[in-house]
Amino acid sequence: MDKNTEYNTLYDIYISSITRFKDNVALSSADGNEMTYSEFGRKTDALSGLLLKHGVGKGDKVAILGTNSPNWVISYFAITTIGAVVVPILPDFTAFEIVNIIDHSESIALIISSRLEYKIPGHLKDKLSLVLSMDDLSVLKGDGIMTDIQPPKPSPEGIASIIYTSGTSGASKGVMLSHANLVAQTKMSFELFPIRESDIFLSILPLSHAYECSIGMLFPISFGSKVVYLNGAPTPALLMPALKSVKPTIMLSVPLIVEKIYKLKIRPMFTNNPVMRLFYSIGIIRRLLHKIAGKKLLETFGGRLRFFGIGGSKLDGAVENFLRDARFPYAIGYGLTETSPLLAGATPGKVKWQSTGPALKGIELKISNPNEKNIGEIVIKGPNVMMGYYKDSESTAKAFTQDGWFRTKDLGFMDKDGNLFIKGRRDNMIVGSNGENIYPEEIESLFNECDLVLESLVLERKGKLVARVHFNYDEIKNESLNLGDSHNTNLEEKIRKIKNEVLEFVNGRVNRSSRVNEIIEQPAPFEKTATQKIKRYLYN
């Protein structure tokens, strides 16, 4: 894509990329199996022809249920470039959710990974006119009914994708994104951070989520970059050797991944004995240690990383301090599925602590009905805002103000330089007994600063605040064993003591109305969405 050329649809981007970058490597597996843009074009055209042959036409819905791979990308472009509508489904969705999505979207065809076929019941397969294997793009079910069909080009206003959200509230809606929405997002991403043909993206988030699909796939494909996919989930066993061999220049992540690296690998190095803890408590020494650790971390990531995007939820403040001290090339972004998704962002070296950065060029962003602290709902206008929710005019109407601003349902404020700060979700806000607004996400970030806390959730129970906390039980057991405490009673006492210390730490840093009354242990990790946000509705 040439930023000075007018592109209106994903078809325009596709034709441009397979022509201009034909000899560049477009897609690759971490094991080194590469595909040029020219090969990508041939395979995509072949699949488009297969879809047309089986009666898939303009406006028809085709679901994709598969793990990340080059064939996922081929499937996406084969569908959208013939004017059909892609319905990406998160692999983690339950069979019940998947059936509902395919039914609600009125999908007539499905492209599915063999490892996920067990989630599709027989009666659903019977209803679909075409089922393809994502593994080799072969036909699993279907009879050719047409030949030599010349597809009409998609229009900018046409629906390109319907993405069903997996929100923290539990309500899943089909977000309709047009070709114009997605093309605008790609252009705005380039304005924020120009990428190069030589850039190598390593993909670790699900392509069925708007964040990875737009920024991690459409963006690099538009500008001739290379995208590498792991052959499975980003476990340390797969990710570590991939980082070493791929040496990516660009990666996208969610806060939880970075927070785990810091809490489980980096921080323990500085706090595993009293002497180190003392040194680590001294600011100038801590920053020096962070800088040394940052160099090693960059080497672990392959040594060539120039952009490590973090989005999906708020980054822990202590972890951000480490990344900043370490001079790690992290970037922060904010967005929603409904906005294709990116709304605001700050690139490496320009991030303001705990801010998402300013609105992207081309987006109008303001704070609606701010209170005395200038905190209010973030509302926006822009070319990337969705067309609406599929077959849900009531929810669509509620999502916009009367004068056309999209309601994000996020609360925040802006500083004098236009940097946006998120306080939390509007629906999560708690009103205290004295009428003061309480933002549970802010209290949770304090809990998560504690060494032995991995995750937390602050809720209101009978007019009082309580926190469900998932502790680092392995570390607690190790500490107890090191101290000679081998009995369960001693471990229980240790956890009780940790609870009191954590509660004292948090309550000493919040105002009176935000103090937490009790910690409830959460023995297992919380259930999460695709972007690793806790599904709050399961615990309310």
Name the fold adopted by 430-538: GMP Synthetase; Chain A, domain 3 (3.30.300)
For residue 500, report the phi and psi dihedrals to the nearest 5 degrees: -65, -40
Which residues, in sequence order, are bridge partners of residue 139?
132
Tell me the DSSP string of 483-533: TT--SHHHHHHHHHHHHHHHHHHHHTTS-GGG---EEEE--SPPPB-TT--
Phi, psi of 394 (to 5 degrees): -65, -50
Helix axes 70-80, 10-20, angle to 10 degrees: 130
pLDDT grade for 147, boundaries at 50, 70 and 90: low
Q: What is the mean pLDDT of residues 124-139?
A: 95
How many angstroms separate the CA atoms of 213 and 113, rounded?
A: 17
pLDDT tens digits, one per residue of 19-77: 999 999 999 998 889 999 999 999 999 999 999 999 999 999 999 999 999 999 999 99
Q: What is the pLDDT of residue 152?
A: 80
Homologous superfamily (CATH) of 254-427 is ANL, N-terminal domain (3.40.50.12780)
- Predicted pLDDT of residue 435: 79
Residue ranges covered by each domain of the chain: 10-23+34-177, 254-427, 430-538
Least reliable range by pLDDT among 66-70, 152-156, 333-337 = 152-156
Distances (CA, A) of 465 to 61, 507, 535: 45, 11, 18
Residue 188 — pLDDT band, cuts 50, 70, 90? very high
Cβ atoms of 54 and 255 closer than 8 Å: no
> 10-23+34-177 and 430-538: same fold?
no
For the 10-23+34-177 domain, the top CATH level (class) is alpha beta
Tens digit of pLDDT for each residue in 487-540?
455 778 889 999 999 999 999 999 888 999 999 999 999 998 877 889 988 998
